Amino acid sequence: MLEFAFYLKKNGKKNTTIKTQTGNLKNLYNSEANLYNPENVKEIIANKNCSDGTKRNLIYTYINFAKFLKIQLQEMPEYKSISKLPFIPTESELNMLIGCAGPKLQPFLQTLKETGARSGEVAALRWIDVDFERRIITINNAEKGSNPRQIEVSNKLLTMLKRYPQDHDLVFGPNANKRMRKNFHSIRARLAYRTQNRRVKQIHLHSFRHWFACMLYHHTKNIMLVKEKLGHRSITSTQVYVQLLQTSGKEEYVSKTATTLEEMTKLIEQGFEYVTDTKIGETTYKVFRKKKAWRPE
């Protein structure tokens, strides 16, 4: 197992990929698959009680393992996962989970909510990535080949982080992803039991990212902005959020008026768009509006 992990490392695989593939290999071993017999492995995978997506990942792992041991493979089966829209929790459900969390998990969850980052990316945050003065968090250790990015966050989150012990370079300390995930599952189970809300059980750490993306698109209708904030390299990964969160909520605007050419010019430079004219007494006002910027709180 260690030699296989080292082989993946030498071939440029990320630590998250190495962890996943060694876990898949262990899964096959525990299922009593003969890893030196491709036909037996195919039979074990075919009879597994799991999704086709999981079977596809097991096949992909075994292909890499066979390359590692120089085992010649015949044609391997292709499993195609069924595309599903991700579960999107409500903001109140996320806030309940954050509110139930302890002093260490709470800022971790709030960071997930406000940045849309993956849990592994938040776990890898260093104090130098948090700019308290400009209220910006930089995601430098992006996962899955994503782009690094910067996200503006709230004073609420920064206050939480200021109270957090700064006794390690990593904001949430070593092995944060594993520790936070375990704590999260515990409070989620308690909250689901207490509220008898079955939806709570469907919320995962990655659900915070889905919620962030949906809300950002809903408020801006700017798919390229969503792509940028999620760090996606391809717009294809972002387009799923266009189909989600069709709400009837009213869009909120900031409105201003102008009576002179100078005032109109300044408003246009600030991103306001012209709406209409209105006359009050002898004065004609140009009415402008700009959609309110959205940021999770």
If you compute the radius of gyration of the chain from its CA atoms, what whole number of angstroms results?
25
Task: Tell which residue, 15, 19, 104, 23, has the closest CA to residue 58.
Answer: 23
pTM of this prediction? 0.75
Q: Do residues 232 and 287 share a domain?
A: no
**pLDDT number for residue 249:** 46
Beta bridge partners of 130: 137
**pLDDT number for residue 195:** 93
Q: Do residues 24 and 137 share a domain?
A: no
Q: Do residues 222 and 153 share a domain?
A: yes
Average pLDDT over residues 60-68: 95
**pLDDT number for residue 248:** 41
**pLDDT number for residue 250:** 55
Give the long-range contacts of residues 11-16, CB within 8 A, separation 24 or more. 14/143, 14/144, 16/120, 16/143, 16/144
Q: Do residues 226 and 257 share a domain?
A: no
Residues in the chain: 297
Q: Specify if 224 maps to a domain.
A: yes
Q: Do residues 136 and 235 share a domain?
A: yes
**pLDDT number for residue 84:** 79
pLDDT band for position 241 (cuts 50, 70, 90): confident
**pLDDT number for residue 93:** 95
Domain range for 174: 91-243
Q: Total domain count for the chain?
A: 3
Q: Specify if 134 maps to a domain.
A: yes
The pLDDT tens digits of the residues spanning 112-170 come to 999 999 999 999 999 999 999 999 999 999 998 899 999 999 999 999 999 999 999 99
Q: Do residues 224 and 122 share a domain?
A: yes
Compute the distance between CA of residue 19 and CA of residue 297 in angstroms, rounded to an integer.
33
